[in-house]
Structure 1
Amino acid sequence: MARKLSFINYKGGVGKTSLIVNVGASLAEVGQRVLIVDLDVQSNSSLWLLRFERWNPLVEKNEGHIYSTFEPGVARLSDCIVRDVVRNKESGKQLPGLDLLPTTFSLIDLEEDYKPANGLPAYVQFQEQIAEIEDDYDYILFDCPPNILSASSCGIFSCNEIFVPSNPDALSLIGFTLLVEKLKLFFEASASYRVAGMDPAAQVRGVIFNSIKNKVDISSSIMRVQVRINQFKGKGVVAQDARIFNTKIRDEVIVPRSVTLGLPVCLIGDYERENTVRDDYRAVMKEIMNIPPLEGIPNGGKQPSEMGSSHESPVSPL
C-alpha cells in the first residue's frame, strides 16, 4: 500500500510544485513507484511534466484529466494516469516509475458547477478511485492548491500525511496557521464519510523550508515555525513527531530552467556539480522515507537501507 502525501500551505508561491516534482523524481530515481496527482487548477505539475504538446490535447478532447472523471464521469482515475510521464522528443522513457494524474484548467468547475448525482462530496468519489490504484505505487504525492476547497479536499481526504512547504517569511507562517485551522474544520466535517478500512485522517508531519536565498539567515523564521508546531501538537491535526526538516532547499536558477525543459532537476544533463539543489531534493526525499508511519497506517515503499546509495538515473538524460 502506498504512502499518500499531500503538500499544501495556505500561502501560495512557496515552491510547492517544484518540491513535489523533484522529490517525486528523486524517489523514482532510487526505484520507488511514484504517482504525482495534480489537484491545482493552475496545472503547473501537469504543464511541467507533459509540456504543452502533450497537455493541450487533454484540454481539446476534454478527457484524460482529473475533472473528466467527475464530468462527464465516464472515465476513472486509473484511465487518466500518464505512465512514465517524463519522455524525450522520441517519446522514450527518461525516468521510469514516475507517473502523473494530470489536470487542466477545467478543474475549477469542481468548485461550483459540479453537482454529484448521489449527493456525496467529490472527495468521497475521488478517494474510492485512489484506493483502486494505490497498491500500484510506493508513494502518491498530491499537489494541492493553497486552500481547502473541493479539489484540495480530494487530496487531503485521501492522504495519510501532510507536508507544508514554507518560505522564511511571515506570510508562510500565517499560511501554516490558517492551514491547521482549516484542516481541523475539514476533518470534523468529513469524519462521517470515513468508512471501515480507511486510514485515519491525515496529520501534518513536517514543514519543509524552500527557495532559500544564498547567505540569508533564516534562524528566526525557523524558531517561529517551531514554536507554532509545538503549540499545535496534541490538537488532532499536527502529529506529535512533526518537525522542521533538517534539509533547507536552496534557491537556484536551475529550477526554473528545468521547468522550461520539462524535466526534473535530476535529469538536467549538464548539471553535475556537487552540493546543489539537486542534492537538497534528494536529502528531503531521504528524510521523508525515514519518517515512520503514523499508528494505524501501513509503511509503503522501500526503506533507504533497501535502496543502495546510487543516484544514477535509470535512463540517460537529454
Structure 2
Amino acid sequence: MGRFLPRRFLVVLGIATLAGAALATNYSLWINGRTGGGVAGNYADFTYWGPGSTAAGVNKKAVNWDGYNRISDQNYLIRNALDCYCTGPNWCYVAVHSAGNLMIGYTLSMYGGSARYKKNATPGSDGTCANSDGTTQTGWNIKWVDVAAGAAGGSELANAGDWALSEPLVADLKTATARAMYDHNNTRGKMFYLWAGAKGTAYSFVLPGQDDEAIAYHSAGGISGSGGGSYCNPSDWLCNDLTLGTAAAEGGKAKWTNHSVVFRDTSEAYNHYTNGNWQGTVGLVRTDMVNFAK
C-alpha cells in the first residue's frame, strides 16, 4: 500500500483544498460483479458484499446492477449513481469486483467524455437524482478506482461454457468479447489499482497461469492485448511473472494505461468470492478503501 500513499495523499489534499469552499462531499461507490444480489437503485443495499454495517470507505454506496444481463443493458444504473454522487462539488472513490471492473471501464471509456448534469446527491426510489443547478460538466469527479479480481479481460470459464450460457452477461465475459468491448486504455485519466488473487483450485486447468478460481492473472492484472496470456507469481517458472505497479509484465506485454497492480497473491491465499462477508480480494480492497477513501 505504501508505494502509492504519497500520490493518493496529494490527490486528496488538493481536492479537499480546492473544493472545501463549495462544501464538497466524498462518497465511496461499490460496483458488484456477476450474480448481483442487491436491489438496483437502492444504494444502501450491500447484499452482494456483506454486512452493510461494515466500514468500506467514506459515505459508502452500493451501486447495484443485476449481474446477469449484458454490460451495455445495465450500464445506465452505473451512470445514474455517478451522476448522483460524482458531479458538481462532490467526488467519488470507486471500488469494483469482477465484472464490475468491466462495467466501470466501459462507463468511463464510452461515457466519460459526455456532458453530465450536476445532481443533488439525493436519490429517489429509482436511484436517480434531480439536477442541482441546471449546469453540466464533462464526465465525473472520480479520484481513483480500486479493483478486486478484475474481469475487464474476461474469463476462460465463459469461453469454455463453465457458466450458464443462458446468462447474457456470460457472452460479455468471453475473453475476446470483453477485450474488444471498449478502449481499455481510455480511463479518462483515472488510475485503476488492481488486486489479483491466486487461490485457484478446481478450474486451474481452464484458466491460464495463476488464478482465483474464476479470473486469471492476465485479466486481474490488467494485461493488454486481444487475448489472455499465462502470467504467474515469481516463484512459478512455467510462465511469465505478473509485475507490480504499471510496468509491463515479464516478457514485455504492457498493462493497460493507468492500470497498476497493487497486490499479487504470492501466498496463493485469496480466492474470487466474497462469501457474503467481504472476503477474498474484496476484503483487501475494503481495507484499502477504509484507509484511503476519506
TM-score range, shorter chain: 0.3 to 0.5
Instruction: Give the structure with the larger strand fraction.
Output: 2
Higher helix proportion: 1
- Superposition TM-score, scaled by structure 2 size: 0.38
Higher relative contact order (CA 8 A, sep 6+): 1
Query: TM-score if structure 1 supplies the norm length?
Result: 0.36
